[in-house]
């Protein structure tokens, strides 16, 4: 049972538990107190206190009798340096293994145990965080679903109110209420797709209501079943077309200002054609976001269509309505002429804008144009008289601003609107004053925009666009402002509105006869 040699570092920290004197290792591997001479046995590298015969005889010699007792087997007791666990449960160590109760090994084991505790605590913390995050997601989802349900219930209530209006009304009022209900139901179909079949069934009822209440009467609005589209009656009349020299923002192609006669009544859509209405002809027409701003909302004006697509949409509707016998003789659904557009946009006014001669914050009540807030976001140039903000960065849902005197929305701003005419910079000097229309293409200098907004000019033919857009300065939204674009142009700021007006060939023939 010879003990193993202990390291010098360990011998330095060991001491006799009785007199605290240092100990030294003997040749047989045991420990001996340098002061009292007591022997401490070393078993497998573990120092233990030995109560040997010498100690017992010393004790007995100190007694009164001094007679030695019978020899007893030596008793061992753990060294005070040993841990309680080592005292209670000594371990059996295989030959050649380092005993786990050795001080340095003990430190390593404690370190490993500490690492395990850290891992366990970290895992526990992660589990708690994961559980908390899961609860947060469930709460956020429930909150979102609750908010969505409130919105669905609110829109469904509006549909019910439209139904009451239909039950209590007739004619245009009922058709208009049915049109509003369809817009609400289209929104519900996107919000609550799980009940899409229910919303579609209800939508079919309102479409039938519009068809039943349809009727075109002189001087009255109506709701076009194809779309559906709310149409406003524009009476015949006379107006001042173009700009005056006093308007410093006027361009040469807006001069001279002259009196134009519109000698027929026509109908024009109350708003620019929306995405919902345009998809009646182009079901797969999708518009990507611009600068993080959405342009594909159901009630936002349709854009990213060229002149040909706008014309084909009008023809598609015209064919359906003609087959149904709902088109007046000599009329057709088409794009408005430039003269028809400005006459309807001015609505009896002769001011720069249909609400007055200045824009500013007052103009933000009537038009969605480029404002100071958008200028700060996109770092674009500004001009005097701009609105501070109009609540929209890009295009607004159709009908979000105040209408003009005819009840038309967004004739200034939101999106440019395609017109039927070819662009002629000398039109006001060359065309007749009675229902003029430019039917022949004219070569003219066109300003084009290339990559990195690089501007360049070409000579070619183009179609008229009017009204300005959400990305234009207020000066571009003037009632007299003219602009043009190549017919194949697709732009996030160009849309259109549909007109029910005399056929172009009949219009030009009538103009020639009146000359």
- Provide mean pLDDT across the span 238-265: 92
| Distance separating alpha carbons of residues 3 and 290, to the nearest angstrom | 85
The pLDDT of residue 74 is 52
Q: Decide if 142 contacts 150 (C-beta within 8 A).
A: no
Q: What's the pLDDT band for 345 if we cut at 50, 70, 90?
A: very high
Q: Half-sphere exposure of 461 toward its Cβ, with a 13 Å CA cutoff? A: 9
Q: Is residue 315 scored above 60 in pLDDT?
A: yes
The pLDDT of residue 308 is 97
> How far apart, in Å, are the Cα atoms of 310 and each of 277, 335, 348, 352, 370?
12, 8, 27, 28, 25
Q: Decide if 486 contacts 410 (C-beta within 8 A).
A: no
The pLDDT of residue 25 is 84
The pLDDT of residue 67 is 45
| Distance separating alpha carbons of residues 332 and 74, to the nearest angstrom | 124
The pLDDT of residue 449 is 65
Q: What angle do CA 255, 307, 345 make, to 5 degrees?
A: 45
Q: Is residue 263 scored above 80 in pLDDT?
A: yes
Q: Is residue 99 scored above 60 in pLDDT?
A: no
Q: What's the pLDDT band for 77 if we cut at 50, 70, 90?
A: low
Lowest mean pLDDT among 11-20, 57-66, 87-96, 128-137: 57-66
If one compares 351 and 43, the residue with the highest pLDDT of the two is 351
Q: What values do phi and psi take at 225, rounded to 5?
A: -60, -35
The pLDDT of residue 217 is 94
Q: What's the pLDDT band for 512 if we cut at 50, 70, 90?
A: low
Q: What's the pLDDT band for 510 if we cut at 50, 70, 90?
A: low
> Which tokens sit at 373?
């807030």
Q: What angle do CA 397, 400, 406 make, to 5 degrees?
A: 115
Q: How far is CA 452 from the centre of its chain?
A: 25
Closest-CA residue to 44 (of 89, 1, 108)? 1
Q: Decide if 204 contacts 379 (C-beta within 8 A).
A: no
Q: Is residue 350 scored above 60 in pLDDT?
A: yes
The pLDDT of residue 327 is 96
Q: What values do phi and psi take at 95, rounded to 5?
A: -65, 135
| Distance separating alpha carbons of residues 141 and 44, to the nearest angstrom | 65
How confident is the model over 101-152, as pLDDT tens digits?
A: 566 677 778 888 888 999 999 999 999 999 999 999 999 999 999 999 999 9
How confident is the model over 410-438, as pLDDT tens digits?
A: 999 999 999 999 999 999 999 999 999 99
| Distance separating alpha carbons of residues 354 and 411, to the nearest angstrom | 9
- What 3-state DSSP class applies to 301? strand
The pLDDT of residue 280 is 94
Percent of the chain past pLDDT 70, that is, above it, reads 86
Dihedral Cα 219, 214, 277, 336, nearest 10 deg: -30
Q: What's the pLDDT band for 95 if we cut at 50, 70, 90?
A: very low
- What 3-state DSSP class applies to 186? helix
| Distance separating alpha carbons of residues 248 and 255, to the nearest angstrom | 12
If one compares 507 and 152, the residue with the highest pLDDT of the two is 152
Residues 6 or more apart whose CB falls under 8 angstroms from that of 349 comprise: 355, 404, 405, 479
Closest-CA residue to 261 (of 203, 369, 153, 339)? 339
Q: What values do phi and psi take at 40, rounded to 5?
A: -115, 125
The pLDDT of residue 94 is 46
If one compares 336 and 46, the residue with the highest pLDDT of the two is 336
Cβ count near 220 (within 10 Å)? 13
Dihedral Cα 266, 270, 271, 274, nearest 10 deg: -90
Residues 6 or more apart whose CB falls under 8 angstroms from that of 263 comprise: 236, 434, 435, 514
Q: What's the pLDDT band for 276 if we cut at 50, 70, 90?
A: very high
The pLDDT of residue 66 is 44
Cβ count near 360 (within 10 Å)? 13
If one compares 289 and 38, the residue with the highest pLDDT of the two is 289
Q: Is residue 213 scored above 50 in pLDDT?
A: yes
The pLDDT of residue 450 is 59
The pLDDT of residue 429 is 94
Q: Is residue 32 scored above 80 in pLDDT?
A: yes
Mean pLDDT of the chain: 86
| Distance separating alpha carbons of residues 261 and 238, to the nearest angstrom | 5
The pLDDT of residue 64 is 44
> Which tokens sit at 74?
């030596």
- Total residue length of the chain: 515
């Amino acid at each position: 049972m010879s003990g193993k040699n202990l390291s010098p570092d360990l011998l330095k920290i060991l001491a006799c538990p009785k007199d605290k004197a240092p100990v030294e290792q003997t040749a047989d591997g045991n420990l001996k107190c340098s002061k009292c001479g007591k022997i401490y046995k070393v078993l497998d590298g573990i120092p233990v206190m030995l109560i040997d015969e010498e100690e017992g005889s010393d004790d007995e010699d100190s007694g009164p009798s001094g007679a030695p007792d019978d020899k007893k087997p030596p008793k061992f007791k753990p060294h005070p340096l040993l841990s309680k666990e080592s005292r209670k449960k000594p371990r059996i160590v295989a030959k050649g293994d380092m005993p786990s109760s050795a001080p340095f090994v003990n430190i390593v084991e404690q370190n490993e145990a500490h690492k395990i505790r850290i891992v366990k605590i970290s895992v526990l913390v992660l589990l708690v965080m994961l559980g908390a995050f899961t609860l947060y997601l469930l709460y956020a989802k429930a909150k979102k679903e609750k908010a969505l349900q409130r919105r669905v219930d609110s829109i469904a209530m509006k549909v019910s109110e439209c139904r009451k209006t239909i039950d209590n009304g007739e004619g245009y009022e009922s058709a208009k209420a049915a049109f509003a209900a369809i817009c609400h139901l289209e929104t519900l179909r996107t919000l609550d797709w799980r009940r899409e079949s229910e919303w579609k069934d209800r939508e079919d009822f309102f479409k039938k209501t519009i068809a039943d209440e349809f009727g075109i009467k002189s001087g009255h609005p109506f709701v076009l079943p194809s779309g559906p589209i709310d149409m406003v009656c524009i009476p015949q009349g006379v107006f001042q077309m173009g700009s005056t020299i006093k308007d410093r923002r006027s361009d040469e192609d807006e001069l001279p200002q002259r009196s134009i006669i519109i000698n027929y009544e026509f109908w024009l859509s109350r708003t620019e054609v929306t995405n919902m209405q345009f998809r009646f002809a182009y079901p797969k027409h999708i518009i990507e976001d611009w600068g993080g701003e959405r342009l594909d909302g159901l009630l936002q004006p349709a854009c990213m269509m060229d002149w040909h697509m706008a014309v084909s949409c009008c023809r598609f509707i015209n064919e359906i309505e003609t087959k149904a016998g709902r088109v007046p003789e000599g009329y057709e659904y088409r794009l408005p002429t430039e003269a028809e557009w400005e006459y309807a946009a001015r609505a009896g006014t002769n001011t720069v804008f249909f609400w007055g001669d200045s824009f500013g914050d007052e103009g933000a009540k009537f038009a969605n144009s480029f404002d100071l807030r958008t200028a700060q976001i996109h770092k674009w140039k500004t001009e005097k008289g701009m609105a501070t903000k109009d609540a929209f960065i890009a295009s607004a849902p159709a009908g979000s601003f105040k209408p003009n005197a005819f009840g038309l929305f967004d004739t200034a701003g939101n999106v440019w609107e395609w017109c039927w005419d070819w662009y002629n910079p000398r039109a006001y000097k060359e065309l007749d004053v009675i229902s003029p229309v430019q039917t022949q293409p004219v070569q003219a200098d066109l300003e084009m925009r290339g990559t990195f907004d690089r501007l360049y000019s070409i000579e070619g033919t183009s179609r008229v666009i009017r009204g300005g857009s959400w990305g234009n300065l207020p000066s571009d939204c003037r009632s007299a402002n003219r602009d043009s674009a190549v017919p194949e142009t697709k732009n996030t700021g160009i849309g259109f509105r549909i007109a029910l007006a005399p056929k172009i060939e009949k219009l030009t023939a009538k103009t020639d006869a009146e000359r």
